């Protein structure tokens, strides 16, 4: 599953730097991947939702400055932290949009099955909730309930939570009935690891190594100085490395997954 | 009614004008340098000791504020972390990634002059100290958890750094002053490198040449560099001077790369989206 490698690598890169000139390239690369590989259905909306969440993170983090000393340096430091979080959220949203979290489960070694199940459930919460919200709102609209009021929020929350609970139970039951957790899983549809997957994984790895090397060498302006506030260095090589995460977007769709 | 509001407006205007006038009036005229108060800052990177006689426009600042003033007045290169409360880098020494203890066990130890040339370890962070006229602050790079083990800067008294603040600013250039690499006229009191062979570490022989009055920098303030010989050190004091001129403003060239990449990628995303829309799902 090349998407796991891709998103883990992109997430690591997002964590190594708070330089906005790299982060914005990474986000753009994620947008390319999303727009060429998003799966049909409501889960592809998770990209936009996480993008908005990322913007919200930047705004919120910057707004929190008012509780401390308000000056350009503190505001810039907060905005940079926020943008790093935003990049992480966008990477996660892209993963949700292009990959099937339960597909991850199939790949886990049998010994690691239970942690993998927990991880898959956690990973899939966002897309499942988004899908559930979409369904509930549609049902409410059909019944003439006006959306957008504060009161309709409770009317929305309860069925969404209920759906989430129900889905988790259904999943657990279905997995139980298929012999999960008892050591007799069948793999009747093994994952195929194709050229595109390999290229995605390798390029992601190389790009991450470039950032890790820059981090260890203390070069490339990965952590821009905000005290004093200064324009960060930008290495063209690292810009290319960040753009490299867009590569799977140019490979044939449906293969890399 | 309208008269009342008008009177109020006038009053407000007068108040604002007064508030603006007060700092202008209280700001010391550049001519009488004696009116400016100074504090001494000693930066010991382990291979070179630099001293700065920092003018205090506001009478007193925090330890961090003193570093910032030294950066403004002499181009001391610095970088802070933890919300501007901790010192990561001074004179190019220290971790560059915003984690001030990334170089642990080596870090910048904060010392305060005891008034007699010696040092006491500060138990308070530099953001919370008060540095007034005549005070001496010291920073030393090295390891050690407290004042017992951490290296301390060489003995320095205020008078060593700020040559007796006589009314007439000492325009005495030091012996080997001609500091070839410096040459920065915007730098006010240029630092005068003095080799250590002449003055062993105890005596910071820095009477930076306040040659005339540098533009912008307060007259009579000095910075001096003392190189240590311990490591056979020929550490160039030019780093301090170069830093002063290196503070360019404006985005770096690499930013163009970044923006170009973003433009390309977003264009590609748009094309992909368009292509997919054409496909039957």
pLDDT digits (tens, 9 = 90+) for A131-164: 888 888 888 888 877 666 667 777 788 888 888 8
The whole-angstrom distance between B155's CA and the closest CA on chain A is 29
Query: Tell me, what's the pLDDT at B244?
Result: 40
Does the beta-carbon distance from A230 to B247 stay under 8 Å?
Answer: yes
For the record, the structure tokens of A122 come out as 């956690």
Query: Tell me, what's the pLDDT at B255?
Result: 87
Q: Which residues pair with B87 in a beta bridge?
A: B80
Distance CA B192, CA B202 (A): 17
Picking from A55-59, A212-216, B238-242, which range would have the lowest pLDDT averaged per residue?
B238-242
In terms of DSSP H, where are the helices of chain B?
Answer: 2-26, 63-74, 158-161, 238-245, 254-278
Average pLDDT over all residues of chain B:
68
Query: Tell me, what's the pLDDT at B3?
Result: 54
Picking from A41-50, B91-100, B171-180, which range would have the lowest pLDDT averaged per residue?
B171-180
How much is the average pLDDT of A84-89?
95
Share of chain A above pLDDT 70, in %: 87
Query: Tell me, what's the pLDDT at A247?
Result: 93
For the record, the structure tokens of B217 come out as 């920098």
Nearest partner of A86 among A49, A129, A131, A42, judged by Cα? A49
Nearest partner of B66 among B83, B82, B78, judged by Cα? B78
For the record, the structure tokens of A93 come out as 């949203």
**CB-CB neighbors (< 8 A) of A212 in chain B:** none
**CB-CB neighbors (< 8 A) of B68 in chain A:** 228
How much is the average pLDDT of A84-109?
84
Distance CA B210, CA B192 (A): 10
Cβ–Cβ under 8 Å, residues A24 and A241: no
Mutate to test the interface with A, among B254, B277, B280 (most CBs of A within 10 A): B254
Picking from A47-61, A210-224, B155-169, which range would have the lowest pLDDT averaged per residue?
B155-169
For B30-244, CATH gives: 2.170.130.30
Query: Tell me, what's the pLDDT at B241?
Result: 40
> ipTM of the predicted structure?
0.79
For the record, the structure tokens of B178 come out as 């001609």
Q: Is the pLDDT of residue B188 over 50?
A: no
Query: Tell me, what's the pLDDT at A148?
Result: 64
Query: Tell me, what's the pLDDT at A141?
Result: 81
**CB-CB neighbors (< 8 A) of A62 in chain B:** none
Q: Is the pLDDT of residue B176 over 80?
A: no
Nearest partner of A18 among A64, A90, A108, A86, judged by Cα? A86
Cβ–Cβ under 8 Å, residues B82 and B99: no
Instruction: State which H helix or E strand residue B104 sits in.
Output: none
Q: Does A229 touch chain B (CB under 8 A)?
A: no
Residue with the larger pLDDT of the pair B269 and B205: B269
Domain boundaries, chain B: 30-244
Does the beta-carbon distance from A32 to B265 stay under 8 Å?
Answer: yes
Query: Tell me, what's the pLDDT at B24?
Result: 42
> A112: pLDDT confidence band, cut at 50, 70 and 90?
confident
**CB-CB neighbors (< 8 A) of B258 in chain A:** 21-22, 24-25, 234, 239
What's the Cα-to-Cα distance from A75 to each of A13, A69, B240, rounded to whole Å?
23, 9, 28
Residue with the larger pLDDT of the pair A223 and B204: A223
Average pLDDT over all residues of chain A:
84
Cβ–Cβ under 8 Å, residues B36 and B214: no
How much is the average pLDDT of B198-212?
36
Query: Tell me, what's the pLDDT at A149?
Result: 66
Nearest partner of A38 among B263, B261, B262, B277, judged by Cα? B277
Q: Is the pLDDT of residue B172 over 70?
A: no
Taking 3-state DSSP, the helix, strand and coil percentages for chain A, each rounded to the nearest 5, stand at 75, 0, 25
Picking from A223-227, B30-34, B95-99, which range would have the lowest pLDDT averaged per residue?
B30-34
Q: Which residue has the tokens 């990322």?
A: A54
**Residue A248 three-state SS:** helix
pLDDT digits (tens, 9 = 90+) for B209-265: 333 333 333 444 455 655 443 433 333 343 444 334 444 457 778 888 899 999 999
Query: Tell me, what's the pLDDT at A185?
Result: 53
Sequence-ordered list of residues with C-beta below 8 angstroms from that of B28, at least 6 positions apart, any chain: B35, B36, B57
Distance CA A59, CA A216 (A): 30
| Burial track B145-174 (b if 16+ CB lie within 10 A, e otherwise) | eeeeebebbbbbbbebbbbebeeebbeebb
Q: Which residue has the tokens 């730098």?
A: B187
Q: Is the pLDDT of residue A39 over 80?
A: yes
Sequence-ordered list of residues with C-beta below 8 angstroms from that of B254, at least 6 positions apart, any chain: A21, A221, A233, A234, A235, A236, A239
Query: Tell me, what's the pLDDT at A122?
Result: 78
Q: Which of A189-198, B13-22, B249-258 has the highest mean pLDDT?
A: B249-258
Q: Does B251 touch chain A (CB under 8 A)?
A: yes
Does the beta-carbon distance from B254 to A233 stay under 8 Å?
Answer: yes
CA end-to-end distance (rounded Å), chain A: 6
Find the CB nearest A236 among B68, B257, B273: B257
**CB-CB neighbors (< 8 A) of A244 in chain B:** none
How much is the average pLDDT of B179-199?
35
> B201: pLDDT confidence band, cut at 50, 70 and 90?
very low
Sequence-ordered list of residues with C-beta below 8 angstroms from that of B24, at least 6 positions apart, any chain: none
How much is the average pLDDT of A236-256?
83
Cβ–Cβ under 8 Å, residues A49 and A134: no
Query: Tell me, what's the pLDDT at B217?
Result: 38
Instruction: State which H helix or E strand residue A102 sits in.
Output: helix A101-107
> A92: pLDDT confidence band, cut at 50, 70 and 90?
very high
Residue with the larger pLDDT of the pair A20 and A114: A20
- For B267, the closest chain A residue by CA position comes to A32
Q: Is the pLDDT of residue A130 over 60?
A: yes
Cβ–Cβ under 8 Å, residues B93 and B45: yes
For the record, the structure tokens of A252 come out as 């044939």
Find the CB nearest B83 among A36, A68, A246: A68
Find the angle CA(A9)-CA(A11)-CA(A13) to the nearest 5 degrees: 70
Picking from B70-84, B87-101, B160-174, which range would have the lowest pLDDT averaged per residue?
B160-174
Picking from A42-46, B54-58, B63-67, which range would have the lowest pLDDT averaged per residue?
A42-46
CA end-to-end distance (rounded Å), chain B: 72
pLDDT digits (tens, 9 = 90+) for B85-138: 889 999 989 888 778 888 888 999 999 999 889 999 999 999 999 999 999 999
Q: Is the pLDDT of residue A28 over 90?
A: yes
In terms of DSSP H, where are the helices of A178-221?
Answer: 195-217
């Amino acid at each position: 599953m090349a998407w796991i490698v891709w998103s883990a690598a992109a997430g690591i890169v997002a964590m190594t730097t708070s330089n906005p000139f790299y982060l914005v390239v990474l986000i753009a690369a994620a947008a390319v991947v999303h727009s060429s590989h998003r799966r049909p259905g409501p889960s592809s909306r998770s990209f936009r939702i996480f993008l908005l969440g990322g913007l919200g993170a930047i705004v919120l983090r910057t707004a929190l400055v008012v509780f401390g000393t308000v000056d350009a340096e503190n505001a810039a430091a907060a905005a940079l932290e926020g943008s790093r979080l935003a990049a992480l959220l966008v990477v996660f949203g892209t993963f949700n949009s292009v990959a099937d979290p339960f597909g991850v489960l199939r790949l886990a070694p049998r010994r690691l099955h239970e942690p993998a199940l927990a991880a898959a459930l956690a990973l899939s919460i966002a897309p499942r909730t988004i899908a559930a919200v979409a369904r509930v709102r549609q049902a409410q609209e059909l019944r003439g309930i006006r959306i957008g009021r504060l009161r309709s929020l409770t009317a929305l929350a309860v069925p969404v939570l209920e759906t989430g609970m129900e889905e988790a139970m259904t999943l657990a039951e279905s997995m139980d009935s298929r012999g999960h957790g008892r050591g007799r899983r069948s793999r009747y549809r093994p994952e195929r690891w194709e050229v595109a997957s390999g290229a995605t994984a390798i390029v992601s790895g190389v790009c991450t190594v470039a950032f890790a090397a820059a981090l260890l060498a203390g070069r490339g302006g990965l952590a821009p100085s905000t005290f004093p506030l200064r324009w960060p260095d930008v290495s063209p090589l690292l810009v290319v490395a960040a753009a490299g995460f867009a590569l799977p977007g140019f490979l044939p769709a449906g293969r890399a997954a | 009614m309208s008269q009342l509001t008008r009177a109020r407006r006038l009053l407000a205007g007068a108040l604002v004008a007064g508030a603006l006038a007060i700092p202008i009036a209280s700001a010391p005229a550049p001519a009488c340098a004696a009116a400016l108060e100074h504090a001494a800052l000693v930066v010991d990177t382990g291979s070179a000791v630099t001293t700065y006689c920092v003018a205090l426009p506001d009478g007193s600042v925090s330890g961090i504020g003193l570093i910032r003033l030294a950066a403004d007045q002499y181009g001391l290169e610095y970088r802070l972390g933890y919300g501007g409360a901790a010192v990561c880098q001074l004179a190019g020494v220290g971790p560059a990634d915003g984690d001030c203890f990334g170089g642990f066990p080596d870090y910048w130890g904060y010392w305060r002059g005891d008034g007699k040339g010696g040092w006491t370890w500060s138990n308070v962070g530099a953001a919370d100290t008060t540095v007034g006229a005549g005070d001496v602050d010291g920073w030393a790079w090295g390891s050690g958890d407290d004042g017992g083990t951490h290296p301390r800067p060489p003995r320095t008294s205020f008078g060593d750094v700020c040559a007796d603040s006589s009314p007439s600013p000492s325009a005495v250039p030091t012996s080997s002053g001609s500091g070839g690499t410096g040459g920065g006229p915007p730098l006010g009191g240029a630092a005068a490198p003095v080799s250590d062979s002449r003055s062993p570490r105890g005596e910071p022989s820095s009477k930076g040449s306040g040659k005339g009055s540098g533009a912008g920098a307060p007259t009579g303030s000095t910075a001096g560099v003392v190189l240590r010989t311990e490591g056979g050190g020929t550490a160039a004091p030019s780093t301090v001077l170069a830093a002063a001129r290196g503070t360019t403003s404006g985005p770096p060239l690499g930013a163009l790369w970044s923006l170009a990449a973003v433009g390309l990628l977003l264009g590609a995303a748009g094309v992909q989206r368009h292509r997919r829309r054409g496909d039957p799902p």
